[in-house]
Structure 1
Amino acid sequence: MTFLSTFTLPDEDAEWDFFIKQKSRAYSTYYPFQIFPQKQVPTLTFEPITIFYGDNGSGKSTLLNVIAEKLGLARGTLYNRSSFEADYLTLCNFELAAPIPDGSAIISSDEVFDAMLNTRALNQQIDRRRDDMFDDYLDNKFASFHYHDLSDYDELKKILETRSKTQSRYVRDNLAKNAREFSNGESALQFFQDKLQDQRLYLLDEPENSLSPANQQKLAAYLTDRARFFGNQFVIATHSPFLLALPHTKIYDLDKVPVASARWQELPEVQTYAQFFTAHAAEFKKESPHD
């Protein structure tokens, strides 16, 4: 499914027209102005999965945020808007292939990391509660208690429960499921599985952060399935080779001037990986049992 069809940034002439109208020259930066004209970014066209590739500082995250703000997408973490962002956004244009559904969003790596921290905090709270419940079980199981009236019912119920169950069973029945069943990487994958809804547009800023290579491959497969079978459109800022290799993906190389689409195998970072493993290929060969 394609919702966002094209997006156009202001060219150098449009930016200069803006500067000429400014009465004050007291600002040291006009961010996000002055970032993209020298890159000669064309009108961007989008597929169900489109990737912005580039080294750190290439502007891929800035571009993702500009698109998100122009489209009015929801976001789950704070975003530092500059003084000139509204002016810049008025100079941007886009075309839609279909209306953008409610619930479409930009998801940053910070949001994923925050979810992982929340899971860790939940684990700590559960651990503390478990210890309290162990003590609670023993206190109630061996308590000397005499029932007087209905006001004692809840306490009587708890005592009868402790005396009818083992300590571990009592804790399991009264304690929330421990989230530590997931590692950090698995928690990040679970975040995407819980977050992404069918038929939505999502902008993902370096979603591979905090993921091992194996989990990056799982994420790649999951995003592919969501785009193919569940009507999602993704625009992703990344330099992960596992995401860059997503099938039927359009990739814009923001390190090129002018910015242009590219095949994933051509990208410098992918070439670096390929050259490294080619140089060490012999070390991966299984030794003969007679050696």
Structure 2
Amino acid sequence: MIFLKSFRIPTDDEEEFFFIPPPVNPDYKTKNFRTVYQTKYPFLFFPGRGVPELEFSDITIFCGDNGCGKSTLLNIISEKLSLPRETPYNRSDFFEDYTELCRYSLSGKISDNSRIITSDDVFDRVLDIRRLNQCIDDRRAELIGEYITERRNEEPNNLSGLEDYDRWKKAHSMRKKSATQSQYIRANLRRNAEERSNGESALAFFVDRIADGGLYLLDEPENSLSPGNQMRLKYFIEDCARSRCQFIISTHSPFLLSLRYAKIYDLDTVPVTVAPSWTDLEGVRVYRDFFAEHEEDFGD
């Protein structure tokens, strides 16, 4: 299903006009000429690159070398459409001004579960699980010490307050039920979050976040994924595209570039063009040439 039909970034002339002062440009902003701003990004990034009005299919891919603007385009689209995201991204004081000049067309209302998912989101999730489990492990050590201490404590003859009563009640409960250390800890501690490898956690993150009927912008989702998991993600995306999802993806991965029926914009070409086939892409041919050079090493 197609939610976003097309998107157009400012033309070279529109970018140039933005920085022309009054009276020629009545919308000129004072900050446009101030030198305190070290960057006017994303202004001045795409002029001369010949980026056309982008027309989208169920699966559209931005590919190209590092620094070609794949992630920048995704962030611009996400900002213009006000899509939710989980982590901050590289932006400047001029980002909002730039997106105001962008134009887009929709086929219908974008669903609420639409979002942009970046590799930073995945990394943060992996680190969150580690931090959570570390806190649980620390608490487990405290409970072991608490259990040993309370089992050794004698029951007080005089209870002088609620604190003494609570301590007596805990120790009495242990003795009465003959609770083992493991039983006591299980009753007072949540279980560790399920631990997976980084790649397994990354793949699970995409599966958890992507629901039927949404527009999803994926920024280099192959990060942290093994070749096998990249293939699993490819099949998952293809299945979701058949379930009323639309994807716009930036990637270097030949596995994701081979997504069936994907429309691929090659950002290394000037002007930017749609690649006839994923096998024509320079990045893919690097892999092909490498394996061809080492064909004898496989011994098949």
Counterpart amino acid of 1:182?
Answer: R
Q: Which runs of 5+ in 2 are unaligned?
A: none
The separation in 2 between residues aligned to 1:277 and 1:97, in whole angstroms, is 42
SS in 2 for 1:179: coil
Q: Deviations over 1:160-195 (max 9, x none)?
A: 357444333443343322235211222222222222
> For residues 197 and 46 of structure 2, what CA distance do their matches in structure 1 show?
39
Q: In structure 2, the residue corresponding to 1:236 is in which secondary structure? A: strand
Q: Which moved more, 1:53-62 or 1:269-278?
A: 269-278
Quickly say closer, same or farther: Cα 1:260–1:168, change in 2 above 3 A.
same
- Give me the identity figure in percent: 50
How far apart in 2 are the matches of 1:189 and 1:167?
36
Residue of structure 2 in register with 1:14 after alignment:
14
Equivalence for 2:262: 249
**2:191 equivalent in structure 1:** 177
- 1:4–1:95 CA contact under 8 A, matched in 2: yes
The answer for the alignment partner of 2:208 in structure 1 is: 194
Residue in 2 that maps onto 1:64: 74
**Equivalent position of 1:217 in the other structure:** 231
Q: Is the 8 A contact 1:73 1:104 kept in 2?
A: yes
Q: CA distance change for structure 1 residues 137 and 269 in 2, over 3 Å: closer, same or farther?
A: same
Name which of 113, 133, 136 aligns with 2:146: 136
1:147–1:156: 8 Å Cα contact kept in structure 2?
no
User: What is the alpha-carbon distance in structure 2 between the residues aligned to residue 182 and residue 147 of structure 1?
Assistant: 50
Q: 1:232 to 1:142 in 2, by over 3 A?
A: farther
Q: Is the 8 A contact 1:68 1:106 kept in 2?
A: yes
1:123 to 133, 136, 144: 133
- TM-score, structure 2 normalization: 0.84
Q: How far did 1:234 drift? A: 1.3
Equivalent in the alignment of 1:237: 250
Q: Which stretch shifts more, 154-163 or 272-281?
A: 154-163
Equivalent in 49, 52, 55 of residue 65 of structure 2? 55
Q: Distance in 2 between matches of 1:126 and 1:156?
A: 24
Q: 1:251 to 1:142 in 2, by over 3 A?
A: same
Matched to 2:40, the amino acid is: Y
CA distance in 2, matches of 1:125, 1:30: 42
The alpha-carbon deviation at position 155 of structure 1 amounts to: 5.4
Residue 115 (structure 1) shift: 1.3
When structure 1 is superposed on structure 2, of 73-82 and 1-10 the one drifting more is 73-82
CA-atom RMSD in angstroms: 2.6
Task: Name the structure 1 match of 2:84.
Answer: 74
Aligned pair count reads 285
Quote how far apart the aligned CAs of 1:61 are.
0.9
Change (3 A) 1:136 1:154: closer
Shift of 1:146: 6.4
Aligned to 1:98: 108
CA contact (8 A) 2:150 2:170 kept: no
Verify the 8 A CA contact 1:204 1:234 in the aligned structure 2. yes
Match of 1:107 in 2: 117
| Worse-superposed segment, 23-32 or 175-184 | 23-32
Cα distance in 1 for partners of 2:226, 2:216 equals 22
Mapped partners of 1:158, 1:272: distance in 2 = 68
CA contact (8 A) 1:140 1:159 kept: no
Over 3 Å counting, the alpha-carbon distance change for 1:31 and 1:181 in structure 2 is closer
CA distance in 2, matches of 1:199, 1:123: 33
Superposed CA offset, 1:126-174 (max 9, x none) = 111121222233334454336999x647853675357444333443343
Alignment deviations for residues 207-238 of structure 1 (CA, whole Å, 9 cap, x no partner): 22222222222222222222223x22111111
Deviation at 1:50, TM superposition (A): 1.0
CA distance in 2, matches of 1:274, 1:182: 32
2: distance between equivalents of 1:148 and 1:270?
79
| C-alpha distance 282-161 of structure 1, shift in aligned 2 (>3 A) | farther
State the 1:254 CA deviation: 0.3
Unpaired segments ≥5 residues, structure 1? 287-291
Aligned equivalents of 2:72, 2:42: Cα separation in 1: 8
Query: 1: distance between equivalents of 2:10 and 2:222?
Result: 30
Give the Cα–Cα distance (whole angstroms) in 1 for the partners of residues 90 and 296 of structure 2: 49
